[in-house]
A and B are shown apart, each in its own frame.
Chain A
Amino acid sequence: MSKESRSAPRPAEPDQALALEMRPGILSDQLLLDPRPVGDMNRYIMEAMQRTGKGFWILVAILASLVLIGYGGAWGYQVRWGMGVAGIRRPVFWGLYIANFVFWIGISHSGTFISAVLRVFKAEFRRPITRGSEMMTTFSLIVAGLFPLIHLGRTWRFYWMIPYFNQRQLWPNFHSPLMWDMMAIFTYLTGSTLYLYLPLIPDMAMARNITTGWRKRVYGTLALGWRGSESEWHHLKTAIKIFAFVIMPVMFSVHTIVSWDFGMTLVEGWHSTIFGPYFVTGAIFSGVSAVITVLLIVRKTMKLDYFLRPEHFDALGKLILVFSFAWTYFWFAEFITEWYGGEPVISALIHMQARGPVAVLWYTMLFFNIVVPWSTLWNRRIRRSTTAMLLITIGINIGMYLERYIIVATFLTKGRMPFNWGIYNPSIVELLISIGALSLFALLYVVASRLIPLVPVWEVQEGQLSHSLRPIGRALVPSVVDLE
């Protein structure tokens, strides 16, 4: 900090700050109607990022070792000896890896949904949580994108799927849903990374201005020379607007195409037209739940109570309740059609789910995805209880993970030729890699939380600028000015 700034008078506090003492019941806390000086907010964020206690480093060490065990150890072992070290077998040629892939792709829908969809629909409560969820999108896509590679029999030949001019004159096969998948994920990863980065530039400039040393150099580089001039802001806002509109359909297409990896096949139980919307709904359901889980943890550990308030989780809780309804609808629509048809193989599959070896997983899935959200999330007190929300959202993610597992791994066990039916149990290698994947996601997030401002300060400030408390009758009512 320079002398100059220390002696500088503070910008005057906005008028509505007076309302703090009055706090009427309908005051919407999620709008952060108690603004603080901008500089304080900046420092609040930056200091939260630089608090790295012993616990933090222990966590990083644990996560890093798990990542190393999963990717270096288990994956390396698999590459050395062959796919056989995984538990997959005829006829279940796809197993936990693909289930993980679908699950993490699903988690990646969090950021886009919250950031882009809510941005387009001007849901103001989104502002403090966009960055955190966009980071989830990018990191979970990285984790998800690794799984197809892990899953390859010859990982070292993965680049044969990339379309480029080559000596073999042979291009990839665009008839294959896997190519669509790759294209979609590449587009989505590029888009979501840039979409994370663009709104970050002003915050990088902010961070550049109030840090020193290596952080300043890093932030300075990432800020690209941002000064906050009108044209810079204008270009940025236009680009964000375009991104918000473009990334939404990409998001929908990504999980739809992932679902088509299954829907396009002749596999009984997979060959379903409803898989597209069903998967997308499930993805948003689990993605938003994961956002709540992560933000609750971040809020607690980084002491971001000012930015992340129970009201945000209240709003997100309503959202996941709605998506629980939607997921249930799609799940039931899919289930009842197949059940009613009574096709022998499908019957066997359903029997396996309802009464067979998969039953435990199946009922757990239904419990976490339907029973728990429906019975709790209608209650405002529960939605505002951080502990309850943490447990519920973790449950939903377990449920959604099971759903992915059931679809990928257990539907393959029974095909049209009963002679070829089989079973599948994941091996230790697959479990270690799955744990490694979770750890990688956590590690990326934990490390990034110390490098990237977890709350888009300028957006919050912009929000606070556009909100005011207006007396109507005897109450102060929050009102919004549309600045865009």
Chain B
Amino acid sequence: MSSPTENHHWTMIIDLDRCTGCQACVVACHVENNVTYVGEEEVAMGRFMHWLLIQRYWGGEYPNMQARFSPIPCQQCKEAPCEPVCPVYATYHSEQEMLNIQVYNRCIGVRFCANNCPYKVRVFNWFNPQNPEPLDQMLNPDVTVRSRGVIEKCTFCIHRIRRAEEDARYEGRPVRDGEVQPACVQACPPEAFVFGDRNDPESRVAKMAESRRGFRLLDDVGTVPEVVYLKRGVTDVEGI
């Protein structure tokens, strides 16, 4: 267990073998993080705001078709290409959480980070968010509502992380494994997501990150993502 004063190394495991593509994480993220909706025309233009997108890839040909889902949140790269290109430090790497932080207040909207993200997980507020009354009442007060002209992206629900750290500090104990759960992790019915602190060698993520199925997205680019994917498994039915 990591001590409360220590730095954390927050890691997300996404088990592609368990992901069913059901979009629970996507909607949970929307609600938790006040991510706005944009409507049909804007979605058609590719201006949807999902912080987490489940990408669906086809493979094979009928009748041996296959489809694969991969949920792509911000990969929280250790060597994030988005960070150095921002002229105003609106996105930077937090030393304490080892996360890629997006500071909406500081963002001036040059969108260089979004271009430079190989995963294209950064979304831009093309317009002000729409929240016709009383939809605005469901906005989460822990999370800023972003206005037009700024970039936003998955934060690993950093407000939840900070709250858990605060709780732990107040109670004089380390943050427990599983105490912090981003909204997507919490919602996922088949538990395709696991979240935790890799600095804690006993944590589930620390163990799962070593899995032989594990890989990182676009590993060759050298961004060193903190999201570890577990490859889809195969059951050897011939051997049964």
B88 at the interface (CB under 8 A from A): yes
Verify A90–B42 contact, CB threshold 8 A.
Answer: no
Verify A176–B86 contact, CB threshold 8 A.
Answer: yes
The complex places the Cα of A213 from the Cα of B127 at a distance, in Å, of 51
B124 at the interface (CB under 8 A from A): yes
Within 8 A of B (CB), among A83-136: 83-84, 89-91, 93-94
The verdict on A267 contacting B124 (CB below 8 Å), with A152-B109, A172-B88, A176-B85 known, is: no
Verify B85–A83 contact, CB threshold 8 A.
Answer: no
Stretch in B114-122, B154-162, B164-172 touching the partner: B114-122
The total of chain A residues at the interface (CB under 8 A) is 41
Picked from A153, A170, A420, A422, the residue with its CB within 8 Å of the CB of B124 is: A153
A-contact 0/1 string along B51-94, CB 8 Å cutoff: 00101110000000000000010000000010111111100000
Q: Closest residue to A416 on the B side, CB-wise?
A: B118
A210 at the interface (CB under 8 A from B): no
Q: Return chain B residues, CB-CB under 8 Å to A264.
A: 85
Verify A178–B87 contact, CB threshold 8 A.
Answer: yes
Verify B88–A160 contact, CB threshold 8 A.
Answer: yes
Verify B119–A417 contact, CB threshold 8 A.
Answer: yes
Verify A173–B84 contact, CB threshold 8 A.
Answer: yes
Q: Closest residue to B103 on the A side, CB-wise?
A: A170
Picked from B47, B116, B148, the residue with its CB within 8 Å of the CB of A153 is: B148
The complex places the Cα of A420 from the Cα of B56 at a distance, in Å, of 11
A382 at the interface (CB under 8 A from B): no
Q: Name the distance in Å between A44's Cβ and chain B's nearest Cβ.
A: 48
Picked from A82, A157, A173, A266, the residue with its CB within 8 Å of the CB of B116 is: A266
Q: Return chain A residues, CB-CB under 8 Å to B151.
A: 153
Q: Name the distance in Å between A160's Cβ and chain B's nearest Cβ.
A: 5
Verify B149–A173 contact, CB threshold 8 A.
Answer: no
A161 at the interface (CB under 8 A from B): yes
A182 at the interface (CB under 8 A from B): yes
Q: Return chain B residues, CB-CB under 8 Å to A91.
A: 46, 114-115, 120
B99 at the interface (CB under 8 A from A): no
Q: Name the distance in Å between A96's Cβ and chain B's nearest Cβ.
A: 14
The verdict on A90 contacting B112 (CB below 8 Å), with A83-B149, A84-B127, A173-B88 known, is: no
Verify A90–B47 contact, CB threshold 8 A.
Answer: yes
Give the most central of B123, B149, B223: most A CB within 10 Å.
B149
A265 at the interface (CB under 8 A from B): yes
Q: Closest residue to A90 on the B side, CB-wise?
A: B46
A474 at the interface (CB under 8 A from B): no
The complex places the Cα of A176 from the Cα of B111 at a distance, in Å, of 12
B138 at the interface (CB under 8 A from A): no
Q: Name the distance in Å between B63's Cβ and chain A's nearest Cβ.
A: 24
Verify A415–B88 contact, CB threshold 8 A.
Answer: no
Q: Return chain B residues, CB-CB under 8 Å to A161.
A: 87-88, 108
Give the most central of B45, B55, B123, B128: most A CB within 10 Å.
B45
The total of chain B residues at the interface (CB under 8 A) is 44
Q: Name the distance in Å between A170's Cβ and chain B's nearest Cβ.
A: 6
The complex places the Cα of A42 from the Cα of B228 at a distance, in Å, of 75
Verify B149–A82 contact, CB threshold 8 A.
Answer: yes
Verify B124–A152 contact, CB threshold 8 A.
Answer: no
Verify B45–A89 contact, CB threshold 8 A.
Answer: yes
Verify A266–B149 contact, CB threshold 8 A.
Answer: no
The complex places the Cα of A24 from the Cα of B151 at a distance, in Å, of 68
Verify B107–A153 contact, CB threshold 8 A.
Answer: yes
The complex places the Cα of A273 from the Cα of B109 at a distance, in Å, of 27
Verify A416–B87 contact, CB threshold 8 A.
Answer: no
Picked from A83, A84, A173, A412, the residue with its CB within 8 Å of the CB of B86 is: A173
Verify A266–B81 contact, CB threshold 8 A.
Answer: yes
Q: Return chain A residues, CB-CB under 8 Å to B119.
A: 416-417
B125 at the interface (CB under 8 A from A): yes
A419 at the interface (CB under 8 A from B): yes
Within 8 A of B (CB), among A369-425: 412, 415-420, 422
The verdict on A158 contacting B108 (CB below 8 Å), with A84-B148, A416-B218 known, is: yes
B-contact 0/1 string along A131-165, CB 8 Å cutoff: 00000000000000000100111110110110000
Q: Return chain A residues, CB-CB under 8 Å to B150.
A: 153-154
B240 at the interface (CB under 8 A from A): no
Q: Return chain B residues, CB-CB under 8 Å to A158.
A: 108
The verdict on A178 contacting B118 (CB below 8 Å), with A266-B221, A419-B57 known, is: no
Q: Name the distance in Å between A103's Cβ and chain B's nearest Cβ.
A: 18
A478 at the interface (CB under 8 A from B): no
Q: Return chain B residues, CB-CB under 8 Å to A10.
A: none
Q: Return chain A residues, CB-CB under 8 Å to B55.
A: 417, 419-420
Verify B89–A152 contact, CB threshold 8 A.
Answer: no
Within 8 A of B (CB), among A229-276: 261, 264-267
B173 at the interface (CB under 8 A from A): no
Q: Return chain B residues, CB-CB under 8 Å to A182.
A: 87
Verify A154–B120 contact, CB threshold 8 A.
Answer: no
The complex places the Cα of A182 from the Cα of B119 at a distance, in Å, of 27
The verdict on A265 contacting B125 (CB below 8 Å), with A153-B110, A422-B46 known, is: no
B207 at the interface (CB under 8 A from A): no
B-binding residues in A (CB < 8 A): 81-84, 89-91, 93-94, 148, 151-155, 157-158, 160-161, 170, 172-173, 175-179, 182, 261, 264-267, 412, 415-420, 422
A417-B72, A417-B120 given; name 8 further pairs at CB < 8 Å. A90-B48, A170-B89, A173-B89, A177-B85, A264-B85, A415-B118, A419-B53, A419-B57
CB<8 Å pairs between A and B, sample of 25: A82-B127, A83-B126, A83-B149, A84-B42, A84-B126, A84-B127, A90-B47, A90-B123, A91-B46, A93-B115, A94-B115, A148-B110, A152-B149, A153-B150, A153-B151, A161-B88, A173-B84, A176-B112, A178-B110, A182-B87, A265-B85, A266-B118, A417-B118, A417-B120, A419-B53
A-binding residues in B (CB < 8 A): 42, 45-48, 53, 55-57, 72, 81, 83-89, 106-112, 114-116, 118-120, 123-128, 148-151, 218, 221, 223
The list of the 6 closest CB pairs from A to B, nearest first, reads A153-B109, A153-B149, A84-B126, A82-B148, A175-B84, A93-B111
